[in-house]
Amino acid sequence: MKKIILIFALILCSIVSPFYQAHAAEEKKGWVSQADLPEPRSHAATAVVGDKIYVIGGYGKTLATNTTFVYDSKKNEWSKKSDMPLKLAGSAVAVVKDKIYVMGGDTYRTSHTENSSKLLIYDTKADKWEEGADVPKKSFLGTAVAIDNTIYLMTQQETSTPNHFAYNTTTNKWENKANGQPNSKAAASAVVDGKIYYIGGGSASGGANTIYEYDPVKNSWIKKGYIASVWYTSAVAYDGKIYIIGGKLGTNYKPTNLVQVYDPVTNITSNMDERIQFARAGAGNVVINNDLYTVGGATSNPTESNSIKSVEKYTIKSTSSTNPDQGTNDGNGTKPDDETHLDDGDALLVITMINGLQKEYQLSMKEVDSFLKWYEQRDAGEGPGFYEIDEHDNNKGPFESKKDYVVFKNILMYEVNKYK
């Protein structure tokens, strides 16, 4: 019996230790690598619809591209969709319902004189492209946001007066809006509580360190807070705060791995302790539920040698969301309120890991309920990083018992199949 216990202990250590160490390392670094883009991309139109990330156009190995790649956040997999009608990079992008609006952009890598005034609309459900009314001005490295059915586009041209336009997605018409943002390029923008925040940007002298606020109701701008000077970045709003990830920092034109967080209520910008793993500029930054993603980018100017495929994810320790259509999510695309935890009966619990491995456990509903409560607690940033599952009748070998230790960060998804 002592020999059996010793063997079990050794096997248990060999199973738990690597997972625990890997989990500890992931916890320490914060940002976790996901499946790479199929091809290197920077300055692409990157947007979220539902639980999927769309990466459209952008600079590839040499020139602007017209590809449409989609990332399934549940499966951690990329697939290809219909190509965009034009090859464009540095386009502004916004989402209204199930459609992605791509505005302006550059048609070449080495010359920014061939800027576009096209508005291209991608229907994610039909996987089809159409054209909308042309943007009033050719633009490159513009930034855009959507509020209800209206898209606000702020163009950046160093040699001309800055312009600000609004596009009504219902009437397919553009109108001029108040100018007030600085004459910058490669700025970022985000929406919090119905206000638009115009962040950073730059010029030949380097990045800007200012944040401006636009009130669509009053059609007016005011100067707000400050950030570390950054441009060639994008911003994403979550839970009332704005996350500015990467970009080119200051006047050295080098990409950074800095993650800045701006709070419009306190008007204070702070730096996250957890920086992204790879410094990048021209990346797409988005949020799904409470997960931040930074996608692609370049380690310098977009060329074959420094455009990257890297994708990273960071889970924010919060359970709320600024998107009313998403609600509070448990990390698996379902709302906790939609689940019913019952202690009677049995179920087959199927857990899919991020490496594609699937594990099946025949458990009582009471055990399943315990697992679900642990998952929700861990998703909120509390509780242990791994969960112990008793294999019961699945136990094979000369052991008195066998347990699996499932690491939270390694879980891609799970399903519960209840039976009588």
Domain co-membership, 176 together with 42: yes
Task: Domain of residue 410: give its range.
Answer: 2-27+339-419
DSSP three-state, residue 354? coil
Query: 54-58, 63-67, 207-211, 333-337: which has the minimum mean pLDDT?
Result: 333-337
What pLDDT band is residue 56 in, cutting at 50, 70 and 90? very high
- 320 within domain boundaries: no
| Residue in this structure with the two tokens 């930074």, named with its chain if needed | 294
- 325 within domain boundaries: no
Q: What is the pLDDT of residue 34?
A: 97
Domain co-membership, 109 together with 200: yes
Q: What is the pLDDT of residue 115?
A: 87
Domain co-membership, 291 together with 373: no
Domain co-membership, 152 together with 277: yes
Domain co-membership, 292 together with 219: yes
Q: What is the pLDDT of residue 9?
A: 39
Q: What is the pLDDT of residue 340?
A: 37
- 331 within domain boundaries: no
Q: Summarize the confidence of residues 351-380 as an average pLDDT.
A: 83
Q: What CATH number does the domain containing 287 carry? A: 2.120.10.80
Of the three residues 263, 283, 315, the one that is the final residue of a domain is 315
Domain co-membership, 273 together with 390: no
More confident residue, 126 or 337: 126
Cβ distance 418 to 345 under 8 Å?
yes
The sign one gets for the Cα dihedral 320, 323, 329, 331 is negative
Exposure letters 308-336 (e unless 16+ CB within 10 A, then b)? bebbbbbbbeebebbeeebeebbbbeeeb
Domain co-membership, 77 together with 129: yes
Q: What is the pLDDT of residue 7?
A: 38
Q: What is the pLDDT of residue 324?
A: 34
Cα angle value 156/223/239 (rounded, 5°): 90
pLDDT at 231 over 60: yes
Domain co-membership, 251 together with 158: yes
Domain co-membership, 103 together with 162: yes
What does the alpha-carbon distance between residue 365 and residue 375 come to, in Å, rounded to a whole number? 15
How many structural domains compose the chain? 2
pLDDT at 2 over 90: no
pLDDT at 330 over 80: no
What pLDDT band is residue 349 in, cutting at 50, 70 and 90? confident
Q: Summarize the confidence of residues 369-380 as an average pLDDT.
A: 81
Q: Find which of 57-66, 277-286, 294-303, 387-396 is predicted with most confidence, using mean pLDDT.
A: 277-286
Query: 54-68, 229-243, 363-377: which has the minimum mean pLDDT?
Result: 363-377
140-167 confidence digits (pLDDT tens): 889 999 999 999 999 876 556 668 999 9
More confident residue, 348 or 379: 348
What does the alpha-carbon distance between residue 387 and residue 375 come to, in Å, rounded to a whole number? 9
Q: What share of the chain is helix, strand, coil (3-state, %, to 5)?
A: 10, 40, 45
Task: Report the percent of the chain where pLDDT is more than 70.
Answer: 79
Q: What is the pLDDT of residue 111?
A: 53
What does the alpha-carbon distance between residue 109 and residue 113 come to, in Å, rounded to a whole number? 10
Domain co-membership, 200 together with 57: yes
Domain co-membership, 41 together with 21: no
Q: Summarize the confidence of residues 193-211 as an average pLDDT.
A: 88
